[in-house]
A and B are shown apart, each in its own frame.
Chain A
Amino acid sequence: MALMQIAEPGMSPEPHQARLAVGIDLGTTNSLVATVRSGAPVVLPDAHGRPLLPSIVRYRPDGRVEVGYAAQARQAEDPKNTIVSVKRFMGRGVKDVAHLESAPYDFIDAPGMLQLRTAAGVKSPVEVSSEILKVLRERAEISLAGSISGAVITVPAYFDDAQRQATKDAGRIAGLNVLRLLNEPTAAAIAYGLENAAEGTYAVYDLGGGTFDLSILKLTKGVFEVVATSGDSMLGGDDFDQRVFCWVVEKAKLAPLSAHDMRLLLVKAREAKEYLTFHGEARITARLSTGEFVDVVLDTETFCSITQTLVQKTLGPVRKALRDAGLSAEEIKGVVMVGGATRMPQVQRAVGEFFRRDPLNNLDPDKVVALGAAMQANVLAGNKPQGEDWLLLDVIPLSLGIETMGGLTEKIIPRNTTIPAGRAQEFTTFKDGQTGMSIHVVQGERELVSDCRSLARFELKGIPPMVAGAARIRVAFQVDADGLLSVSAKESTTGVEASITVKPSYGLGDADVERMLRDSFEHAREDMHSRALAEHRVDGQRLIEATRAALAADEALLSPEEKNSILAAVAGLEKLVPGTDHRKIKKAIEVLNRATDEFAARRMDAGIKRALAGRKIGSL
C-alpha cells in the first residue's frame, strides 16, 4: 500500500507537472532531506536555515514528541526518554546490539526486534525512526509548497533484509510513498559521479555514525554498476565516542555512572572527537550528578592509539570487497569519502596509505548521500526525459539461503548478486511419509545457521506421503530492487502443489504496522478513510494516464478486442475516481491492472527487441 500525503483530497498532480520527489538520508547521527530544483540537487533546511536534523527523538510524559535539536538539548537531562542513534536498533534484537549496557534505555527483548520503554509507552525502533521521517516530510512539504509524490530513503549497503524492511516500514508509517531503498554508498557515487563526470572504477568508503560500508562501482556512460560491497553494520563514529568515553572513565577513575552522567559524558566524548579533527588536544570537563568534577585532557596521539583498532577494522571489509571484485587497490581510480566520521585525520591517513592515493573529499561528507538520493528520486518519479537519465545496478550485500540438515546453510543467492535477482533450488524429504517441511530462511556468509541471521521460518504442509527422497520441493527466492526478499515453496511431483509466500519478518507483523499507522494519525477512522480515498484517487489517476500513454505508444501490439477491453477498464475506473467510495476505486484499479497484464508483458518484450536491434545497428 502506497501512502501519499495530499494537500486537499481530490487534487491530483497536473499531468505534465514535475512530481515532487525527495531523497532522505536517515542517518545514525543526523538525517537530511533533499530534492532536485531546476535540475540541481539541494538539501532542504529547516525554518532556521539548518540543513541537518539530529536523529534524536524525545518522548515526553504528556505524549508529545520532540525531534532534532529540541530533543538533543534535553538528552542529558532526560536520557531514558531521549532516543539517540536509533538506527543501531533497526531490525535488531537485544543480543545483536553492542555496548547495550552503556545505552541509558529501558530495553524490552521482543522477538526479532527490541523495543524501548519510554514515558509515552513502549516504542519500536521503527516508530522512533518514523518520527524523524515525519519531520523531514513536513519540512519538504512546507519548503516545496506541495505534497510529496514519492521518496527515496537511503540505507547502509550492508544492511540485511530485516534492517531494510524496518526502514521501509518506518517510511510507510511516516506517510511516505517509498519509491526505493537506495544504498548509501551508491547514492554518494551518483552525486559524485555526475558532478565530476567520473568514468572508471571507484571505491566509496562510507563511515557514518553507526555503520560502515565499502562499495566498489564501475562508472561507464550513465551506468552505475556496483561490483562488490562489504561493510560492518555495527561500526561507526559512535564507537569512537565510546572509546573516548571509556578512556575518560578509566582516566578519571569514575565509579559506575547513572544514565544521566553516562549520556553527559558520551556527549562530551563526541565533542572532544570532533574538536580533535582540527586541534592537537581537547579538554573534557563535566560536573557529574554525584557532585564529582571531571577534568581530563585528551591529545591526538592518545586518541589515535585508543581508536586504532577501529580504523584497522574498516580495512577488513575493504580487502574483502576488492577480492570479491577481483581487483587490486592499484586498480581503483579514486576513493570517495562519505560520512561525518571520515573527517577524522587518522581515518583519512589509513585510507590514503591503503590505496596509495589521496582520498576524494570534494563533496560535503554529510550531504552527499542525501543529494544522490534526491537525484535518484527525481529519476524514479519520471521527471527526467528518456536518454538523460541513468541506470543503477546494485547488489545484495549478504548471501541468502536456507537451513538444511545438521544446521548447515545452503546458499541460494550469493552475496554481490545484481538485483533484482531470483533463484530456485530443489529439496526433498528425508523421512518416509513426511507430509510437512519447515523452511528456515537465513542471511549471512557463515556455514552454520546459528552464525547467520534468521529472517523467517515457515511451514510447507500438505506434501503427499511418499518414500524419503521422492518429493520435489522447489524453494524460490526473489529479491526486488529494494534488496527485499520474498520466498515461496512448492511441492510438484504428484500434481499436488502447495505453495506459500513469506515476507521475512523481524517480529513486526502486518497487523503491528497497521496499528502504528493508525496511531500515527490522530483521528483514526475518518482520517484513515479520507487518506485511503485520496491515495486511491491519485493511484487511479496515475494508472489511467500511464495506460493511455502506453496505448498511444504501442497500440499496434494489441488486437482491436484486446484494446477495447483495456479501454473499457479505463473508462470504468475513470468514472469511479471522482466518487467517494475508496473500495470501489481500489477494485477498479485492480481490474485495470489485470486487464493490462498481457499488454505490459508484450511491451516489455518489444522494448527488448528494440534494444537489441538498436545494438546491432550501432555495432555495424
Chain B
Amino acid sequence: MHNHFDLFGLPPAFSIEGEALERSYRDIQSKVHPDRFAHAGDAERRASLQWTTRVNEAYRTLKDPVQRAKHLLELHGVDVAFETNTAMPPDFLVQQMELRESLEEAKTPNALDEMRKTLRQEKAALEKQIGNAIDSKKDYAGAAGLVRKLQFLDRLDEEIDSAYEGIE
C-alpha cells in the first residue's frame, strides 16, 4: 500500500503541520496537474491523470483526522475495522444516544450552533488523545478504539448538517 506521508515528504505522525502538508500538496500539483498537460500526448496526459488522482486522494486522507489515523494505524499493521468492530464502551454509547435525542429536539439554528460548538470541542479533545496514543505512547491498538469514537462524532456532525437543511 502507498504511504501517503512519504508522498508529501512528511514524517508519519498523527500531529501534522497543516501548512507543510498544504505547501507540499501544491508543489506536487503544480508539477503533475492535467492543466499542465492539456496539449501533451496521450501518455503524458494519462500519467498526469493517475498522479493527480493519487495526490488528491492522499491529501484528502491526511487532511481528515479519522482517515489520517486510520492510514497511520494501517501502516503499523492495525486495522481500525469500522465495519466489523462496533463494540463501544457503554457510557460512550449512552452519551451518543442522548446527543442524538437532543439533536432531534433542536429546531432552531441557534440550538444547532450550540450543539455543534460542544461537539467540535469534544472532537478536538479526542484528537489530542489520539495524537498522544499514536505519536507518544505508540499504543496503536488503544488508538484504534479512540478513532472509532471519533468516527461516531463525525457522523453526528454530518447529522447536524442534515438537521440544518431540514429547518431551512
- Residues of chain A having any CB pair with chain B under 8 Å: 19, 150, 179-180, 223, 316, 319-320, 323, 376, 379-382, 391-393, 417-423, 478, 480-481, 542-543, 546-547, 550, 592-594, 596-597, 599-601, 603-604, 607-608, 610-612, 614-616, 619
Given A421-B57, A611-B28: A150 and B39 interface contact (C-beta under 8 Å): yes
Taking a contact as CB atoms under 8 Å apart, the answer to whether B52 and A391 are in contact is no
Q: Quick one: which of A320, A392, A608 contacts B35, CB cutoff 8 A?
A: A392
Smallest CB gap from B53: residue in A = A422
Give bound CA distance, A478 to B46, whole Å: 12
List 5 A-B pairs, Cβ < 8 Å: A179-B38, A319-B168, A481-B33, A546-B40, A612-B9
Give bound CA distance, A593 to B42, whole Å: 6
Taking a contact as CB atoms under 8 Å apart, the answer to whether B9 and A418 are in contact is no
Q: Which residues of A contact B20 (CB under 8 A)?
A: 619
Give bound CA distance, A150 to B37, whole Å: 13
Q: Which residues of A contact B41 (CB under 8 A)?
A: 542-543, 546-547, 592-593, 596, 600
Q: Does B122 contact A (CB under 8 A)?
A: no
Q: Which residues of A contact B8 (CB under 8 A)?
A: 612
Q: How far is the CB of A184 from chain B (nearest CB, A)?
A: 17
Give bound CA distance, A542 to B41, whole Å: 8
Q: Which residues of A contact B30 (CB under 8 A)?
A: 391, 611
Q: How far is the CB of A22 from chain B (nearest CB, A)?
A: 14
Q: How far is the CB of B97 from chain A (nearest CB, A)?
A: 22
Task: Convert B79-113 into 0s and 1s, putting 1 for each residue whose CB lies closer than 8 angstroms to a CB of A.
Answer: 00000000000000000000000000000000000
> For chain B residues 12-55, which have a beta carbon within 8 Å of chain A?
20, 23-24, 26-35, 38-44, 46-49, 51-54
Given A592-B41, A599-B43: A608 and B51 interface contact (C-beta under 8 Å): yes
Q: Main SS of the interface on chain A? A: helix
Interface-central residue, B31, B161, B168, by most chain A CB under 10 Å: B31
Given A316-B168, A593-B43, A604-B48: A150 and B38 interface contact (C-beta under 8 Å): yes
Q: How far is the CB of B152 from chain A (nearest CB, A)?
A: 18
Give bound CA distance, A286 to B65, whole Å: 63
Taking a contact as CB atoms under 8 Å apart, the answer to whether A600 and B46 are in contact is yes
Taking a contact as CB atoms under 8 Å apart, the answer to whether B28 and A417 are in contact is no
Give bound CA distance, A480 to B39, whole Å: 15
Given A423-B57, A593-B43: A380 and B35 interface contact (C-beta under 8 Å): yes
Q: Which of the four size classes fits the interface of chain B?
A: 35 or more
Known pairs A596-B44, A601-B47, A615-B23. 14 more at Cβ < 8 A? A19-B39, A382-B38, A417-B56, A422-B54, A481-B33, A481-B49, A547-B41, A596-B41, A600-B47, A604-B48, A608-B32, A611-B30, A615-B24, A619-B23
Q: Which residues of B contact A379 (CB under 8 A)?
A: 35
Given A592-B41, A597-B43, A600-B46: A481 and B31 interface contact (C-beta under 8 Å): no
Q: How far is the CB of B108 from chain A (nearest CB, A)?
A: 14
Q: Which residues of B contact A546 (CB under 8 A)?
A: 39-41, 44
Q: Quick one: which of A380, A422, A593, A608 contacts B57, CB cutoff 8 A?
A: A422
Q: Which residues of A contact B40 (CB under 8 A)?
A: 546
Give bound CA distance, A478 to B50, whole Å: 9
Give bound CA distance, A481 to B52, whole Å: 10
Taking a contact as CB atoms under 8 Å apart, the answer to whether A612 and B38 are in contact is no
Q: How far is the CB of B130 from chain A (nearest CB, A)?
A: 20
Q: How far is the CB of B101 from chain A (nearest CB, A)?
A: 22
Taking a contact as CB atoms under 8 Å apart, the answer to whether A180 and B51 are in contact is no
Smallest CB gap from B164: residue in A = A323
- Residues of chain B having any CB pair with chain A under 8 Å: 7-9, 20, 23-24, 26-35, 38-44, 46-49, 51-54, 56-57, 59-60, 161, 164-165, 168
Taking a contact as CB atoms under 8 Å apart, the answer to whether B161 and A323 are in contact is yes
Taking a contact as CB atoms under 8 Å apart, the answer to whether A616 and B9 are in contact is yes
Q: Quick one: which of B38, B43, B161, B164 contacts A381, CB cutoff 8 A?
A: B38
Smallest CB gap from A594: residue in B = B43
Interface-central residue, B26, B49, B60, by most chain A CB under 10 Å: B26
Taking a contact as CB atoms under 8 Å apart, the answer to whether B35 and A391 are in contact is yes
Smallest CB gap from B22: residue in A = A220
Smallest CB gap from B55: residue in A = A608
Give bound CA distance, A594 to B30, whole Å: 25
Interface-central residue, B30, B38, B49, by most chain A CB under 10 Å: B38
Given A150-B39, A604-B47: A611 and B31 interface contact (C-beta under 8 Å): yes
Q: Which residues of A contact B44 (CB under 8 A)?
A: 546, 550, 596, 600, 603-604
Q: Quick one: which of A420, A597, A614 contacts B56, CB cutoff 8 A?
A: A420
Q: How far is the CB of B117 from chain A (nearest CB, A)?
A: 12
Taking a contact as CB atoms under 8 Å apart, the answer to whether A380 and B39 are in contact is yes
Given A546-B40, A612-B27, A615-B23: A417 and B60 interface contact (C-beta under 8 Å): yes
Give bound CA distance, A601 to B44, whole Å: 7
- 7 shortest interchain CB distances as A-B pairs: A380-B38, A607-B31, A600-B43, A422-B53, A481-B34, A611-B27, A600-B44
Smallest CB gap from B44: residue in A = A600
Q: How far is the CB of A579 from chain B (nearest CB, A)?
A: 20
Give bound CA distance, A421 to B29, whole Å: 13
Q: Quick one: which of A381, A596, A612, A619 contacts B28, CB cutoff 8 A?
A: A612
Given A422-B57, A600-B44, A604-B51: A393 and B38 interface contact (C-beta under 8 Å): no
Smallest CB gap from A320: residue in B = B165
Taking a contact as CB atoms under 8 Å apart, the answer to whether A615 and B39 are in contact is no
Taking a contact as CB atoms under 8 Å apart, the answer to whether A608 and B31 are in contact is yes
Taking a contact as CB atoms under 8 Å apart, the answer to whether B53 and A421 are in contact is yes
Q: Which residues of A contact B56 (CB under 8 A)?
A: 417-421
Q: How far is the CB of A433 from chain B (nearest CB, A)?
A: 26
Q: Which residues of A contact B38 (CB under 8 A)?
A: 150, 179-180, 380-382
Q: Which residues of A contact B32 (CB under 8 A)?
A: 604, 607-608
Taking a contact as CB atoms under 8 Å apart, the answer to whether B9 and A420 are in contact is no
Taking a contact as CB atoms under 8 Å apart, the answer to whether A481 and B57 are in contact is no
Give bound CA distance, A481 to B51, whole Å: 12
Q: Which residues of B contact A323 (CB under 8 A)?
A: 161, 164
Interface-central residue, A392, A603, A608, by most chain B CB under 10 Å: A608
Q: Which residues of A contact B57 (CB under 8 A)?
A: 421-423
Q: How far is the CB of B12 from chain A (nearest CB, A)?
A: 15
Give bound CA distance, A252 to B30, whole Å: 60
Taking a contact as CB atoms under 8 Å apart, the answer to whether B164 and A319 are in contact is yes
Give bound CA distance, A596 to B7, whole Å: 24
Q: Quick one: which of A223, A380, A418, A547 contacts B60, CB cutoff 8 A?
A: A418
